[in-house]
């Protein structure tokens, strides 16, 4: 998958958001992306305007409660200052992007995080539905996530720091989309901790000799 394909998939994700067809986990991920990315905020405004015209003669589709109002507020903020595209994020809930705050508890507490590898921690999020899984990941500077593939699409939003994989380099507000079967090994930037929100449609499958052994042990 190349960068151009990632952009196409992102455009499709934004269209699905505007149509109100995303599960809640992805809906919140997109809202958070919009709050950090002025370009996508403007795209969503255009899509909603187009969608409103097209839906005048069709049955309405509802977003989750309050999502439209949150979206408009975030768009208004990003229209005023493009500097907000790179908001500082830390383990303090008050510094997380607004769309995420209602779904994360005690982010500043070490007990909220589960260590899953060297320099790698995760926190599972509950969006109250049966769609795949959503997790926050903390990756120490220069550390890598084990090489893995995906049984289902994976959508990852960078909240803080950045990472590089086989398909590109991503910073705050950027979205990486990996399709079913794609294999990658994200490596965090050296200049700071990377925090991401990842939503997976299906399980992650570790690859490589060590990964295959760990997969066997987990069965």
Mean pLDDT for each 10-residue chunk of the chain (219 residues)? 64 85 93 85 70 50 54 53 41 67 72 88 88 92 90 92 92 91 92 94 77 48
> In Å, what is the CA distance from 148 to each residue of 21, 75, 106, 133, 209?
28, 35, 29, 16, 11
Contact 35, 200 (CB under 8 A): no
**199 and 98 assigned to the same domain:** yes
Q: Which two tokens stand for residue 19?
A: 């149509």
Q: Which two tokens stand for residue 83?
A: 């500097």
Prediction pTM value: 0.74
CA neighbor of 101 nearest in space, from 130, 141, 66: 66
**Longest alpha-carbon distance in the chain:** 56
Alpha-carbon gap, residue 202 to 154, rounded angstroms: 8
Supply the pLDDT for residue 189: 95
Domain span at 189 = 93-218
Supply the pLDDT for residue 132: 85
**CATH number of the domain residue 118 falls in:** 2.60.120.10
Supply the pLDDT for residue 155: 95
Supply the pLDDT for residue 91: 40
DSSP string covering 42-111, please? HHHHHHHHHHHHHGGGS-----STTHHHHHHHHHHHHHH-GGGGG----S-GGGS-HHHHTT---TTSGG
**128 and 61 assigned to the same domain:** no
**40 and 131 assigned to the same domain:** no
**123 and 209 assigned to the same domain:** yes
Q: Is 187 helix (H, G, I), strand (E, B) or coil?
A: strand
**44 and 101 assigned to the same domain:** no
**106 and 170 assigned to the same domain:** yes
**105 and 127 assigned to the same domain:** yes
Domain boundary among 68, 86, 104: 86
Supply the pLDDT for residue 217: 41
Supply the pLDDT for residue 84: 41
**119 and 200 assigned to the same domain:** yes
The structural domain count of the chain equals: 2
Supply the pLDDT for residue 206: 84
Domain boundary among 48, 68, 86: 86
Supply the pLDDT for residue 64: 56
**82 and 100 assigned to the same domain:** no
Hey, how many other C-beta atoms are within 10 angstroms of the C-beta on 126?
11
**102 and 206 assigned to the same domain:** yes
**55 and 97 assigned to the same domain:** no
**213 and 153 assigned to the same domain:** yes
Domain boundary among 86, 101, 121: 86
């Amino acid at each position: 998958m190349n960068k151009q394909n990632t952009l196409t998939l992102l455009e499709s994700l934004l269209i699905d958001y505007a149509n109100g067809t995303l599960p809640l986990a992805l809906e919140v991920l997109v809202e958070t992306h919009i709050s950090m990315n002025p370009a996508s905020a403007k795209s969503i405004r255009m899509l909603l305007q187009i969608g409103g015209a097209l839906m005048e003669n069709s049955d309405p589709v509802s977003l989750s409660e309050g999502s439209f109002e949150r979206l408009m507020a975030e768009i208004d903020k990003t229209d005023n200052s493009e500097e907000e595209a790179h908001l500082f994020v830390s383990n303090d809930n008050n510094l997380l992007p607004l769309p995420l705050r209602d779904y994360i508890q005690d982010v500043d507490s070490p007990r909220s995080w589960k260590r899953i590898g060297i320099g790698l921690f995760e926190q599972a999020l509950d969006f109250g539905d049966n769609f795949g899984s959503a997790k926050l990941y903390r990756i120490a500077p220069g550390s890598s996530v084990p090489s893995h593939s995906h049984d289902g699409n994976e959508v990852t939003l960078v909240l803080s720091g950045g990472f590089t994989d086989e398909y590109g380099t991503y910073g705050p507000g950027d979205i990486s989309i990996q399709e079913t079967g794609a294999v990658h090994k994200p490596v965090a930037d050296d200049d700071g901790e990377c925090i991401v929100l990842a939503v997976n449609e299906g399980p992650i499958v570790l690859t490589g000799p060590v990964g295959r052994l760990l997969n066997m042990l987990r069965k």
